[in-house]
Amino acid sequence: MGEGKADIGDILQRAAELNISRRSLLKGGMALGGLLALSGCSMLERSYYKSTPAIAEGPAQEFLSACPRNCFDTCSMVVSVKNGVIRKVAADPRNTFTGNSLCVKGYAYTNKVYDPNRIKYPMMQTPRGSGNWKRISWDEALDTIGKKILDLKDRYGSTLPVCMNKYSGNFNIWHYCVEGLMNSLGHISLVMGTPCWPAGIDAQGYDYGFMWNTDPEDFVKTKHFMLWGVNPAWTSIHTMKFINKAREQNGAKLVVIDPICTATASKADLYIQIRPSTDGALALGMARYILDNNLHDRNWLEKNSKGFPEFADYLKKNVTVDWASKTTGVPKSVIEQVAREFATAKPACTWIGYGFQRHINGGQSVRNVDALAAMTGNATRPGGGANYGHLATWGFNYHAMVMKQPEGSIGVESPDGKMTHRNINMNNFGRMVLEAKNPPIKMLWTACRNTVSQDPDAPIVKKALDSLEMVVVVDHSFTRTAQMADIILPTTTHFEHPGVNVSYWHYWIAAVEKCIEPLYESKTDLEIAWALSKKMNQLQPGSCTYPTEGTLAEWTEKEINDGINKLFGIKGWKDLAKKGPQKAHFPNPGYSDNKFKTPSGKYEFVSETAAKDGHPALSLYKEPMPIPKDYPIRFITPHSRTAIHSQFQHNPWMMAIFPEPYLEIHPDLAKEKGIREGDMVRVYNDLGEVRIKAKFTRVVPKDVIAGYENWFWKSDFNLNNTVKAIPADMGKRNTGNPGIAFHDNFVNIEKA
C-alpha cells in the first residue's frame, strides 16, 4: 500500500490473514408507549415537528465534516455550531465534487441529530419484542453482554455461537472497529458479503482486473452518456451537475436505460424502457451492429485486449439485432441508432448502476456492457469508461479493525488448515442463522446495520432473531431490528466524534471534526469496543484482545499512512482538518494508462478467472429468471430520494414532507385488478406481504410495480417481506458471498 492507491489485493490479503471478511472492506414490535414513557419521548412526540433545541445565542463556530452514509456522493460539509448546538449543515465547496449544495437528506441533518426519537440510553427489553423497555446503565449492559459471551463460550467451547452483522450505516474508517471488536473475542459467525454491488465487482474484476471508475468530475468531457440502471437524479445528485454541464458545453447526449422512467430518465434525450434483466441482450445487439458496421476501435482492441476475436465470433454466430430487439422489447431502429451514436461519439461514457446488477444474471450483464465500452475504445478513455465504482482511495491502515484472536481460539477450519470465522452469507442471513449447527448461533451483535429492514427474506430474518438467546443492537434509531433486541446501546452521530471519509465514486478525502459533545448517554462504536473489552477482561482475563482505551483523535490519526498522505498531499489527519477536503492525484485514473490488473494485463473479453469461478469465460448472454406462473408481476424496490435505506425518512422533517409510502402501478394493471388510485394494495407472494397505497403512473410498464425501500416512523411497511434471498450470479470472489437478486422479485397484488 506504499503508493497510497489502495491495493485491494493487499488489503484483502491483510484482512484474510486476520480472518476478517472481505465484505467488511467492501462497501464493508416494540410497543412504543412503554419506551416513550421511559425515554421522555411522549412529551417530545407532542412537539414532533419542533425537535431541534431552542435557538442558542452566541458566536457560531464552524467545523469540517463529511457525510458518512453509504452513498456515491460522500459530501464534504461545514457545520455551524452555537453554544454547543448545531444550527446549520452546509456543503463545503472546496470539494469541487460536492460544490455548493447538499441533498435533501444532508440539509435534514440538524433534524436527524436532534430527533426526539433517538436512542438515548442503554436499554433492555424483556421479553424481546414486548415493548417492555427498561433504562439500564452502561455497566449493567456491558456486564450482561460480556457474561452472555463467556457463558456461550463455556457451553459450546468457542465463540462461534456469537454472530455479528454489520454493514453500511457509517463508512467512517475507524468504524471498522466493530469487526475489530468481534475479531478480538475469537472466531465468530461472521456475516460476510454485501447486498449492494458484489456481482458487478466480480464482473469488472474478470474484465478489468478490478473496478476503477473514472473521476466523475471528468464527466464534463463526455459527448455521450449511457446510464444503465442508475438513477443519479435521486442517488447521486452531484454527478447530475457534471452530466448537465457536458450536455450544455459539449451537446452531450443522455441515454437512460431502465425499466422505470425514473427522475433521471425523465431528463434524458433518449429513454429506453427495457424489459428487466435483459440488458445483456441490448448491449450485445449493439455490439453486433457496431461490428457489422466496422465502428469498433481495432487499434485499441489489438493493443489492449485479450479475446476480442472470440467475442466477435460469438456475436456473429449467436447475436442479431432482431434477437436483441425481441429479447429486450426495444425497437430495432432504436438499437441501431443508439449503437451508431455511442460508437461514434468520443468519448462515450457508460455508467452501470448498482440497481442494474441485482439480478440472477446481473454480473454477466455487467460484463456484456463492459464489452460494449471496450470494443469502442471507451473502456479507459478519460471522460469515457464503463463506470461502476472504485476502492482506489481506501488504502487506510484499518488499525481499528486489524486485531488478533485470543490464543487458542477455535473457529472453522479453512481449506488451508487455518482457523477462520464461520461465513454467514449476508444475503441469506435469516436462513443461515436458523440452520447453523455445531455449534448453533445463539447471540447477535449488530451495528451500522438494520437487518430486519434491509435484508431479503425479512420474515425469516425475524424468525432468526427470535431464535436467539441475545440480540444486541448499537444504533441511534429505534429501527425494526432494534425493536427485536434485548439490549440497545445508543451511539453517536458523526457530528459527535472525529473521523475520516472517502467515497467509492469521487476522488476526495475529508476530515470529520467533532462538532458537539455526544448527546445523552451515547458512545461511539469505538468507545463501546474499548469498554466491552475492558469488561470482558475483568470478567475473564485474556478473553478479549481489543485495546481498552485510547482517544478518538489518536485512533483517527492512526488510520492514515504514508500512502494516503502522498495520494492526497497531506501530512496526517490534523493537516487534512487544517487544509480542508483534498482530492487524490492519480497519474492513471480509471486505468487510463491501459494497464489492467487481469492475468494477461489486458482487458479480457475471455476470462479464465471467470471460467475457474464457474462462469462463462466469454462475455456471452445469460438468460433472466423465468417469471413464476402464480406471481407474474415483477416488484422492483429501488432506493428512495428522501432516505438512505432505513435512515432519514423516519425523521420528523422528512415525515412532514413525505408521510407515507406509495406503490407505482400502471393504470391498466390496476384496472385489471379492480384497484383505484389511493386504494391500499396487498402485494404478496409465498414469502410474505406488504400493504401500500396505489399511485397510478405510466413510469412503470404494465407488468412491473415499484416501491422504494424506506422506513417510515411507526409504520410496519417493509418491502423485504416479499423479497426472497435469491443469489445473483457473481460476487463470491471479491466479497466472500454472491450478491442478491433484489429485483428478481415476483408477486401478485389485490385490493387490500
Ligand X SMILES: Nc1nc2c(c(=O)[nH]1)N[C@H]1C(S)=C(S)[C@@H](COP(=O)(O)OP(=O)(O)OC[C@H]3O[C@@H](n4cnc5c(=O)[nH]c(N)nc54)[C@H](O)[C@@H]3O)O[C@H]1N2
Q: Which of residues 403-432 bind ligand X (CB under 6 A)?
A: none
Smallest distance, Å, CB 130 to Mo ion? 33
Q: Of these partners, ligand X, Mo ion, none, which one is at the site of residue 723 (CB under 5 to 8 Å by kind)?
A: ligand X
Asked if 216 is part of the footprint of ligand X (rule: CB under 6 A), the reply reads no
d(C-alpha 418, C-alpha 183), whole Å: 15
State in Å, rounded, how far the first CA of the chain is from the last one: 57
Q: Of these partners, Mo ion, ligand X, none, which one is at the site of residue 388 (CB under 5 to 8 Å by kind)?
A: none
Distances (CA, A) of 501 to 65, 77, 178: 9, 11, 17
Question: Which residues lie across from 65 on neighbouring strands?
Answer: 77
Question: Which residues lie across from 85 on neighbouring strands?
Answer: 82
CB closer to Mo ion, 86 vs 260: 260
> Is the omega angle on the peptide bond into residue 439 within 30 degrees of 0, that is, cis?
yes
Smallest distance, Å, CB 369 to ligand X? 9
CB closer to Mo ion, 196 vs 287: 196
Q: Position 55: which residue type?
A: I
Contact between residue 561 and residue 576 where contact means Cβ atoms under 8 Å apart: no
Q: Of these partners, Mo ion, ligand X, none, which one is at the site of residue 378 (CB under 5 to 8 Å by kind)?
A: none
Percent helix / strand / coil, the chain, rounded to 5: 35, 20, 45
Binder to ligand X among 273, 277, 409, 737 (CB under 6 A)?
277
Smallest distance, Å, CB 721 to ligand X? 10
Asked if 397 is part of the footprint of ligand X (rule: CB under 6 A), the reply reads no
Nearest 10 degrees: Cα torsion 507, 26, 518, 557: -60
Smallest distance, Å, CB 562 to ligand X? 28
Binder to ligand X among 364, 376, 720, 735 (CB under 6 A)?
720
Binder to ligand X among 7, 475, 513, 604 (CB under 6 A)?
475
Smallest distance, Å, CB 565 to ligand X? 26
Candidate segments 42-50, 91-99, 164-172, 329-337, binder of ligand X by CB under 6 A: 164-172
Phi and psi, residue 149, nearest 5°: -60, -45
* Angle, CA 275 vertex, CA 273 and CA 276 arms, to 5°: 105
Contact between residue 631 and residue 748 where contact means Cβ atoms under 8 Å apart: yes
Q: Of these partners, Mo ion, ligand X, none, which one is at the site of residue 704 (CB under 5 to 8 Å by kind)?
A: none
Smallest distance, Å, CB 735 to ligand X? 12
Candidate segments 88-96, 189-197, 476-484, 562-570, binder of Mo ion by CB under 5 A: 189-197
Asked if 230 is part of the footprint of ligand X (rule: CB under 6 A), the reply reads yes
Q: Name all contacts of 82-86 with Cβ < 8 Å and 24+ positions apart.
A: 82/55, 82/56, 82/57, 82/58, 83/56, 83/57, 83/58, 84/56, 84/516, 84/517, 85/52, 85/53, 85/56, 85/516, 86/110, 86/113, 86/114, 86/495, 86/515, 86/516
Q: Position 716: which residue type?
A: D
CA 445 to chain centre: 20
CB closer to ligand X, 378 vs 745: 745
Smallest distance, Å, CB 645 to Mo ion? 8
Smallest distance, Å, CB 404 to ligand X? 23
Question: Which residues lie across from 422 on neighbouring strands?
Answer: 189
Q: Position 92: which residue type?
A: D
Locus of grid cell 475529508:
510
Kindly give the pairing relationship between strand 603-604 and strand 305-306.
parallel
CB closer to Mo ion, 271 vs 742: 742
Contact between residue 462 and residue 484 where contact means Cβ atoms under 8 Å apart: yes
Asked if 490 is part of the footprint of ligand X (rule: CB under 6 A), the reply reads no
Contact between residue 533 and residue 145 where contact means Cβ atoms under 8 Å apart: no
Q: Of these partners, ligand X, Mo ion, none, which one is at the site of residue 228 (CB under 5 to 8 Å by kind)?
A: ligand X
Residues 6+ apart with CB under 8 A from 416: none
Asked if 356 is part of the footprint of ligand X (rule: CB under 6 A), the reply reads yes
Asked if 728 is part of the footprint of ligand X (rule: CB under 6 A), the reply reads no
Comparing CA positions, the residue from 560, 658, 610, 559 lying closest to residue 105 is 658
The grid cell for 710 is 424506506
Smallest distance, Å, CB 268 to ligand X? 12
Binder to ligand X among 425, 640, 685, 748 (CB under 6 A)?
640
d(C-alpha 652, C-alpha 344), whole Å: 50
Q: Of these partners, Mo ion, ligand X, none, which one is at the site of residue 179 (CB under 5 to 8 Å by kind)?
A: none
Asked if 439 is part of the footprint of ligand X (rule: CB under 6 A), the reply reads no
Q: Which of residues 646-675 bind ligand X (CB under 6 A)?
A: 646-647
Q: Which residue is nearest to ligand X (CB)?
A: 355
Q: Which of residues 246-275 bind ligand X (CB under 6 A)?
A: 257-260, 262, 274
Smallest distance, Å, CB 199 to ligand X? 12
Asked if 352 is part of the footprint of Mo ion (rule: CB under 5 A), the reply reads no
d(C-alpha 526, C-alpha 551), whole Å: 10
Asked if 196 is part of the footprint of Mo ion (rule: CB under 5 A), the reply reads yes
H or E segment and range at residue 36: helix 32-39
Contact between residue 591 and residue 370 where contact means Cβ atoms under 8 Å apart: no
Q: One symbol per residue from 248 to 267: x for binding Mo ion (CB under 5 A), - otherwise; what is it?
A: --------------------
The grid cell for 280 is 445483456
Range list of H helices, 484-628 = 525-539, 552-557, 562-568, 572-579, 608-612
CB closer to ligand X, 245 vs 641: 641
Q: Of these partners, ligand X, Mo ion, none, which one is at the site of residue 483 (CB under 5 to 8 Å by kind)?
A: none
Q: Of these partners, ligand X, Mo ion, none, which one is at the site of residue 254 (CB under 5 to 8 Å by kind)?
A: none
Smallest distance, Å, CB 55 to ligand X? 27
Asked if 76 is part of the footprint of ligand X (rule: CB under 6 A), the reply reads no
CB closer to Mo ion, 196 vs 705: 196
Smallest distance, Å, CB 695 to ligand X? 16
| Contacting residues toward Mo ion, per CB under 5 A | 196
| Contacting residues toward ligand X, per CB under 6 A | 70-72, 167-170, 195-196, 228-231, 234-235, 257-260, 262, 274, 276-277, 279, 353-356, 359, 447-450, 454, 474-477, 479, 491, 525, 636-641, 643-647, 709, 719-720, 723, 742-743
